[in-house]
Amino acid sequence: MYIFRHMTPDPITVYPEMLLPEARALLTDYQFRHLPVVDAQGLLVGMLTDRDLRSAYPSSVISDSERRLVYERVEKTSVSEIMSTECVSVGADSTLDDALFLFDRDQLGALPVLEDGRVVGIFSNRDLNAAYKTLFGVGEKGAVLIGILDDGSEGIMTRIVTLLDKEGIPFTRVLRIHDKRGGDTIYLRINTFKIAAVLELLESSGFSIKKG
């Protein structure tokens, strides 16, 4: 699955010259956590996060006089002075796996999506979660995940699919997971409210349901 199908297209961007109070207002008003920073040609030059802004604003533990001085300085500070310039990005044709790897490796909250260096979208951790929920059918009406122990017998996945198809049991996903500790498992995403009958059918047909 490709990122362009799940990203937020044409995200709000800011210029390096923008002052911090204006950037902060954008994050607050639109409930964003990340703002791509672009130049006059629309090319990505940095990323500004809510964490960057929190670091720039005064701490609640300092005195009122110190806080006023910090606020005065912040009001004159531009985005370019606190933004991150070493940006990790992806292309629109990157995959969900690409994004997952980068989020895990670099501990990022969002990735700007580029085409020819220009920002065409932004892809966040929340987008990734939503995409994988769609991929694996999480939250679909009547969807239940069933685990079947993979005994290694020849054609076991074919036999399972053939059985479900023959009995008219709707299913949307079939996935084999290799696990040396817990044993290999075949997972089925079944769309039915009669799960007990499905389990009975599988067990009576010689398949072992994985418990827990």
Q: Per residue of the chain (212 residues), what is the pLDDT tens digit?
A: 899 999 999 999 999 999 999 999 999 999 989 999 999 999 999 999 999 998 887 776 677 777 788 778 888 999 999 999 999 999 999 999 999 999 999 999 999 999 999 999 999 999 999 998 888 888 777 788 999 999 889 999 999 999 999 999 998 889 888 887 767 899 999 988 888 999 999 999 999 998 75
Strand partners for 143: 191
pLDDT at position 179 = 81
Cβ atoms of residues 198 and 190 within 8 Å: yes
Determine the residue type at 128: L
Domains 3-133 and 138-204 fall in the same CATH topology: no
Looking at domain 138-204, what is its CATH homologous superfamily?
ACT domain (3.30.70.260)
Give the C-alpha separation, 43 to 40, whole Å: 7
Give the C-alpha separation, 134 to 127, whole Å: 11
* Beta carbons within 8 Å of 1's beta carbon, 6+ residues apart: 95, 96, 131, 135
pLDDT at position 202 = 95
- For 38, the enclosing helix (H) or strand (E) is strand 34-38
Looking at domain 3-133, what is its CATH homologous superfamily?
CBS-domain (3.10.580.10)
Tokens of 101: 């790897």
Domain positions in the chain are 3-133, 138-204
pLDDT at position 212 = 59
Query: Long-range contacts made by residues 124-128, C-beta under 8 angstroms, separation at least 24?
Result: 124/8, 124/33, 124/34, 127/6, 127/7, 127/8, 128/6, 128/96, 128/99, 128/100, 128/103
Cβ atoms of residues 80 and 51 within 8 Å: no
pLDDT at position 60 = 67
Determine the residue type at 65: S
